[in-house]
Amino acid sequence: MTPVELSRTVLRAVRRAVDEGELRVAVPERALVSAPGPGGCGDYATNIALQLARPAGEPPLRVAEILRPHLADADGVADVVVTGPGFINISLRDTAPAALVEEILRRGKRYGFVDGADGQAGPRARRDHGGLFGQVLQLHCAHDVRAVVVTDVLARLLRSQGALVRTSCEGRPEPEWEAVLGARVDAHGSAESPAPLDVGVRPVPAPADPLPLGRDAGRWALLHPAGHDRPRITDEHLVQRESNPLFRVRYAHARTRALSRNAADLGFGAEPGDVRHDVTVLLADHPRVLAQAAAHRAPDRLARHLVSVADAVLPLLPAVLPRGAEKPSAAHRARLALAEAAGTVLAGGLSLLGIDAPEHL
């Protein structure tokens, strides 16, 4: 069960409690699930009971105890424990790191895509997404380089979630925007056949020309800030230092690829295993991030998520290969598989942003 699916499971538990008269509240639109905090347990935790306590007129602990049996009966849930002032901690079945890593390596760069987003609608497609699958959208952007780049990436994100997307621009995009930045739209001028959902894309324009930065750094400079923030168009996006988030993301990916090559030279390969590490929570959260970035038209959410994945996986990498005369063990193989999974997520995310993920850096 992914974090997106678990969030929906929590909302279904609230709805059942309301339907059975145990709670008198409006069912919220979303339920936040995250890694358990200090004193927590299990795979994920949610603060939904604290969120509902005031409107329900009940103490958070009472709300949590009302929801606990509804969650415990849900498919895929192994155990539910209430801790602290009312945090609900959830343990899932079949959520060992090995299963997560196997799924990522099996799906490759398409990990996090909705089933059927390639045009072959699987039986779970509509259930797994919750709205975007099959929608027809028209993205119509301002005649501005940042708007065109953002539109290009939004179209990729929405299509990854099963939406059918057309793009257009108020005027003919400058040839350099496609030649240098790789950003294009399907049409220009007014949309002749507006889609059922017509979305205007108007982020804050860049204060300077991003073309001198080149494709990768130029796109990152435009996409990493939120749409309402003014991007910084400076050479800082080109420097190969830890202070540059784009460098950290691409460096982490290149390191994972180098480890795979080095392991092959040592005669062993990746085998998913039960490795507990901070990065596993972020990898499990990747489908939710893609869904939210698409639903909220916010590619910056994906960019920031990739930085978090890179920063989490880098401390793992020195422990992947055996040292000295040490023989490769099951732990080494499992760490290698986790590193490769992180590299796969980084490569897939960069691809959606239209940015290259080099194997050598």
Tens of each residue's pLDDT in the chain, 361 residues: 667 788 889 999 999 999 999 999 999 988 988 878 888 888 789 999 999 999 999 999 999 999 999 999 887 888 899 999 999 999 887 556 888 899 999 999 999 998 765 443 333 333 334 467 888 999 999 999 999 999 999 999 999 999 999 999 999 999 999 999 999 999 877 655 555 668 899 999 999 999 999 999 999 999 999 999 999 999 999 999 999 999 999 999 999 999 999 999 999 999 999 887 889 888 988 998 998 899 899 999 999 999 999 999 999 999 999 998 899 999 999 999 999 999 999 999 999 999 999 999 8
Q: How far apart are CA 143 and CA 136, in angstroms?
A: 22
* Helices 330-352, 299-313: crossing angle, 10 deg rounding: 160
Q: How far apart are CA 150 and CA 210, in angstroms?
A: 13
160-190 residues labelled b (16+ CB within 10 A) or e (exposed): bbbbebbbbbbeebeeebeebbbbbbeebee
Q: How far apart are CA 113 and CA 97, in angstroms?
A: 20
Q: How far apart are CA 96 and CA 350, in angstroms?
A: 26
Residue 173 gets which letter from DSSP? P
Predicted local confidence at residue 125, as pLDDT: 35
Residue 89 gets which letter from DSSP? E
Backbone torsions φ then ψ of 45, nearest 5 degrees: -135, 155
Contact 102, 163 (CB under 8 A): no
Which residues lie below 8 Å from residue 197, measured CB to CB, with a gap of 6+?
135, 136, 137, 138
Query: β-pairing, 136-141 with 87-92?
Result: unpaired
Q: How far apart are CA 289 and CA 299, in angstroms?
A: 10
Q: How far apart are CA 69 and CA 26, in angstroms?
A: 20
Contact 310, 252 (CB under 8 A): yes
Contact 109, 351 (CB under 8 A): yes
Contact 246, 304 (CB under 8 A): no
Helix (H), strand (E) at residue 358: none
Predicted local confidence at residue 160, as pLDDT: 95
Place of tokens 């050598």: 360
Q: How far apart are CA 61 and CA 168, in angstroms?
A: 51
For residue 191, give both structure tokens: 């949309």
Predicted local confidence at residue 43, as pLDDT: 79
3-state secondary structure of 166: strand
Predicted local confidence at residue 267, as pLDDT: 95
Query: β-pairing, 77-83 with 44-46?
Result: unpaired
